[in-house]
Structure 1
Amino acid sequence: MIIGPGKSGKTALAAFLEGGGPDIRRVQNMVYRKNTLDTPGAYLESPWMHHHLIAAAQDASCVVMTVDAAGKRWVYPPGFAKAFRVTVIGVVTRCDLPEADIQEARQQLRRAGITPPFYEISIYDKEGLERLRDVLAPYRPKALQPEK
């Protein structure tokens, strides 16, 4: 499950994890794909929608909480990651932009209750994306993992 503020790269990350190219179409509802659950930023940005995210996480094997390094909004309530019963992984997106403040993004993740390591990615940095995919691999459902 991928959550984060609007325009933080959640859908592009989900498309990469699904094996496709970036999908720039914004989602207005939760989108269940083979390996990912993509959530709209509005669910996080509206406090009265938080319970929908918490309920949807019951179907997830892990939660990826994203923060836009170039964004200036703090959208996660303090300790929000503690509401989930699965592993929560912190990801800083859009690290390649000149206005990116990676230290502030990391602080947002800490405030949300996530412990490091945090993964810094850009949709243009395939190495960082591959590293994140490797971190997420153990959380894929067994039926979807490639045979060895």
Structure 2
Amino acid sequence: MKKRIMIIGAGQSGKSTLANWLNQTDRPLRKTQDAIYGRRTIDIPGAYLENPWMYKYIIALSQGASHILILVDQSRPVEVYSPGFACIFTCPVTGIITKCDEHPENYDMCVRQLRRCGIQEVILPISLRTGAGLAALERRLAATHAG
């Protein structure tokens, strides 16, 4: 089985846009209740994260992942992760601050949120609109053999 990059985040945090970029596709963006498998990614619906009783599905789907990306939207950093959430995964986890070109005053809040959810190592700010941080993300994924 090919391992993929799992993308987790609240609704409207940029998961599908990031999945499209990683998969080098322009699949139409739409809200879905199902995990979407791309060439390189597993895009997890925000509803799975917003309902803790659905964590078991995230854990099961993570078995097919080589890397987990946990997203926080800098333009609206809604607290959605349980404390220690990132610690349930057995593969590398990277915190991603999306839309880093919007509302820079929220950056520290985003970092604190990712730290609370258990990300102790790498946190990368990215903007899919401007391209900021995307090369660093690809280097991180390549360094952890994500595909």
Identity %: 40
Q: Which residue does the alignment assign to 2:22? A: 17
Report how far residue 4 of structure 1 moved. 0.7
- Structure 2 counterpart of 1:48, one-letter code: W
* 1:69 alignment partner, one of 61, 71, 74: 74
Report how far residue 139 of structure 1 moved. 2.7
User: 2-side partners of 1:98 and 1:113: how far apart?
Assistant: 24
Report how far residue 20 of structure 1 moved. 2.5
The 5-angstrom pairing of residues 72-87 of structure 1 reads: 72-87=77-92
Q: Which residue does the alignment assign to 2:61? A: 56
User: 2-side partners of 1:123 and 1:65: how far apart?
Assistant: 15
User: 1-side partners of 2:134 and 2:105: how far apart?
Assistant: 17
Residues 104 and 97 of structure 1: CA distance in aligned 2, closer, same or farther (over 3 Å): same
User: Which structure 1 residue ranges, 5 or more long, are not aligned?
Assistant: 142-148
Report how far residue 19 of structure 1 moved. 1.2
* 2:146 alignment partner, one of 126, 140, 147: 140
Report how far residue 41 of structure 1 moved. 0.5
Answer yes or no: is 1:36 the counterpart of 2:48.
no
User: Which structure 2 residue ranges, 5 or more long, are not aligned?
Assistant: 1-5
User: Normalising by structure 1, what TM-score?
Assistant: 0.87
Residues 72 and 120 of structure 1: CA distance in aligned 2, closer, same or farther (over 3 Å): closer
Map Cα deviations across residues 82-136 of structure 1 (whole Å, 9 max, x no partner).
Answer: 1111111100011112376111001010000001321001111224112212211
- Structure 2 counterpart of 1:11, one-letter code: S
Are 2:74 and 2:103, in contact at CA under 8 Å, matched by a contact in 1? no
User: 2-side partners of 1:115 and 1:69: how far apart?
Assistant: 19
Residues 19 and 111 of structure 1: CA distance in aligned 2, closer, same or farther (over 3 Å): same
Residues matched between the structures, number: 141
User: Normalising by structure 2, what TM-score?
Assistant: 0.88
Are 1:70 and 1:97, in contact at CA under 8 Å, matched by a contact in 2? yes
